[in-house]
Amino acid sequence: PIAKMTIPRGRPSATLLTSGDVLIADGEKQDNESLATAESFHASTLTFQPTGAMHHARISHTSTLLTDGRVLVAGGYADTVASGAELYDPRSGTFTETGSMGSARCKHTAGLLPDGRVLVAGGSDSRGWDRNLNTTEIYDPRTGKFTAASPMNDQRFKLPDEAVPLTSGRLLIAGGSKEAEIFDPEDGKFVAAAGQMDEQWHYMSETKLRDGSVLLAGGYPNSDQATAQTWTYRP
C-alpha cells in the first residue's frame, strides 16, 4: 500500500500524463453520489494531490490523452447521460468545457487517431440495454468540435475505456458484440475483424502487446456471468 487518494472513488478514469503523473477523475463515492472532482498521482513521490474541479460529475466516461498533453474527458452519466466534454490542462491544473457530442453517451470507448483527433464510439443513452449505439464521432482538438463519423457495423456498449491504436494507425474496437471492428482513419470506415468470440462480452479489457497483437480478457455476457477466457487479436 502507498498513500491514499484524497477521497474514495468508485469507477473513476485514470490517465497517464506525459509527465509520468496520473490524472484520476470523477467516479462515485457511493451509489447515486457522483463526483465532479479530480486529483493527480505524483509518481516521483507516490502521493495524491487534488487538482481543478470538473464542470460536471461523470461515471462511465472516457478519458483520452491528446498529443499536446491535455486530456479529453467525454460523455458519461450522473443524473442524466451527458453529451458534453471537458479538457484538462496539466500545466494549469484546470478543466475547461469544450464541444458537445451529437449524441449523449456513456459506457462507450474512445481512441486517439494518428493525426491527433479522437474517435468516440458506441455506448448507450439513458435507455441502457434498450438503446445501444453504433454511432461514432470524431473530436478535433484544433477546433474543439465533434463531427459525426461512419457508424460501426454493430451496436455495442459497456466497452473498454480505450480503443487500442494498432501499429498501422487503425483502431481496434472490441466488446459488447461477438465481433471486433477495425476503424481505418484513411477512409473513415469500419470493417469487421476476422473470427468471432463466443459471446457478447461486456466490460472486457483490451491491451496492446509489444508484438502489436491485442489481448482481450474477461468480461461478462448478457447473463452477467463473468468469464476467465481470453482472446488474442493479431493484425
- Among 91, 89, 86, 78, smallest CA distance to 126 is for 78
pLDDT at 30: 78
Q: What is the DSSP letter of 223?
A: T
pLDDT, tens digit, 9 for 90 and up, residues 53-72 = 999 999 999 999 999 999 99
Cβ atoms within 10 Å, residue 91: 8
Per residue in 142-154, pLDDT (tens digit) is 999 999 999 999 9
pLDDT tens digits, 184-200: 999 999 999 999 999 99
The reported pLDDT for the residue numbered 37 is: 96
pLDDT band of 179, cuts 50, 70, 90: very high
Which residues are CB-neighbours of 33 under 8 A, at least 6 positions away? none
**Residue of 6, 59, 60 lying closest to 35 (CA atoms):** 59
Of 176, 179, 146, residue with least CA distance to 159: 176
Residue 32 has pLDDT above 80, yes or no: no
Does the reported pTM lie above 0.85? yes
According to the model, what pLDDT value does residue 60 have?
Answer: 95
Residue 222's pLDDT band, with cuts at 50, 70 and 90, is: confident
| Residue 128 binned pLDDT confidence (cut-offs 50, 70, 90) | confident
Q: How many CB atoms lie within 10 A of CB 225?
A: 8
CB 72 within 8 A of CB 63: yes
First to last CA, the chain: 38
Query: Does residue 86 contact residue 73 with C-beta atoms inside 8 Å?
Result: yes
Alpha-carbon distance of 166 to 148, in angstroms, equals 22
Which SS3 state, helix, strand or coil, does residue 8 take? Answer: coil
Cell reading at 129: 440495454
